[in-house]
Amino acid sequence: MPSAALVPSRESGFADLAPRHIAVHPLTGHIGAEIEAPDLSRPLSPEVVDEIRAALLKWKVVFFRDQPLSHAEHVALASAFGAPTIGHPVFGFVEGYPQVYSIGRDRFATRHTGEPLIRPWTGWHTDVTAAVNPPAASILRGVTIPPYGGDTFWTNLAVAYDALSPTLRGFVDTLRGIHAFAPPEGQAGTADFKEKNRRRPLVSEHPLVRVIPETGERVLFVSPSFLKSITGLTPRESQQLLDLLFEHITRPEFTVRFRWRPGSIAFWDNRTTAHLAPRDIYSLDFDRQLYRITLKGDVPVGVDGRSSSLIEGEPLEAFTAGTA
């Protein structure tokens, strides 16, 4: 855990101590900071870990440049901040590195249609929210990066929550929704996808607003690709309110856009952000290869103190030898 003095709080306006071991360069008004840090391939001091963690709580996603890591170094870095899960609960992991999930250019190309993909289905989302305990954070590293195209976006779900009217905040505070890992409407999925999904079904009910323990922040925990319906509303009410919220959380002023380079690392708080995988690379011929590690997360808790509930599947556990 970070030392108390370094944990920013909502009450203090995130007035944390100035970092002394890293340099934090904010990129936008609400989200994203580039961090100058010591060599991340080496073991980090507790002070550096605390300062990066504080910057992450404040800026929601932090970026590092020119930090090329091996798979093993990536695992070691992630382990300094939490417990890595298995690469992906449905789609597996990199051979020999059970905590590492490969994100290649064409990973979605045949998953649902069996045909080269024209419109990738993974739009704005928060990672693995179909699990009852979605990952606390994700650490994504860029290896092969196109000369242009393939940028990633993140949005700040705490600021999005604050920007709702008090009346609507009061309403969404009371709501819960069903998150499922399933192809979107109109896409049946390939036999391979369906089989993998059948073996590891994931469905959970989460509060639409979760409270972050370290900061007391309330965040609009809506993950457009996974949140399918709002409990207790008619299908029409549910869809129209979700459309409103999904449009709201992706307003440009809540977002940051990151231009990858080889050796870049993006480290995001998966509880307080959603992100958008790039669409433009599917019209370009460049290769793109990134690797992701996710850290085990808590079961979300709503404003009323109620926890999320598991409907199908298993909680995401930290990887331990033998579980792969």
What is the set of active-site residues? 125, 127, 275, 292
End-to-end CA distance of the chain, in Å?
A: 27
- Closest C-alpha among 156, 136, 292 to residue 222: 156
Ordered DSSP codes for 234-293: -HHHHHHHHHHHHHHHT-GGGEEEE---TT-EEEEETTSEEEE--SGGGGS----EEEEE
Instruction: Return the range that interacts with Fe ion (CB under 5 A); candidates 10-18, 108-116, 123-131, 230-238.
Output: 123-131
Cβ proximity of 208 and 177 under 8 Å: yes
Nearer to Fe ion among residue 139 and residue 164 (C-beta): 139
Residue nearest Fe ion, CB atom distance: 127
Rounded distance between C-alpha atoms, residue 110 and residue 117, angstroms: 7
- 217 counts as binding Fe ion under rule CB under 5 A: no
Shortest spacing between CB 168 and Fe ion, in angstroms: 27
Question: Hey, which residues between 303 and 322 contact Fe ion (CB under 5 A)?
Answer: none
Instruction: Return the range that interacts with Fe ion (CB under 5 A); candidates 60-68, 127-135, 237-245, 263-271.
Output: 127-135
Nearer to Fe ion among residue 10 and residue 279 (C-beta): 279
Rounded distance between C-alpha atoms, residue 135 and residue 78, angstroms: 12
Rounded distance between C-alpha atoms, residue 13 and residue 58, angstroms: 9
Rounded distance between C-alpha atoms, residue 157 and residue 173, angstroms: 14
Shortest spacing between CB 306 and Fe ion, in angstroms: 26
Instruction: Return the range that interacts with Fe ion (CB under 5 A); candidates 55-63, 76-84, 124-132, 151-159.
Output: 124-132
Instruction: Return the range that interacts with Fe ion (CB under 5 A); candidates 46-54, 94-102, 119-127, 223-231.
Output: 119-127
Nearer to Fe ion among residue 61 and residue 211 (C-beta): 61
Shortest spacing between CB 270 and Fe ion, in angstroms: 8
> What residues contact 53, with CB distance under 8 A and at least 6 apart?
2, 6, 81
- 127 counts as binding Fe ion under rule CB under 5 A: yes
Size of the site for Fe ion (CB under 5 A): 1
Rounded to the nearest angstrom, the gap between the alpha carbon of residue 161 and the centroid of all alpha carbons in its chain is 17
Shortest spacing between CB 125 and Fe ion, in angstroms: 6
DSSP state letter for 62 = E
- 269 counts as binding Fe ion under rule CB under 5 A: no
Shortest spacing between CB 50 and Fe ion, in angstroms: 26
Nearer to Fe ion among residue 175 and residue 290 (C-beta): 290
List the structure tokens of 229: 């319906």
> Residues interacting with Fe ion, by CB under 5 A?
127
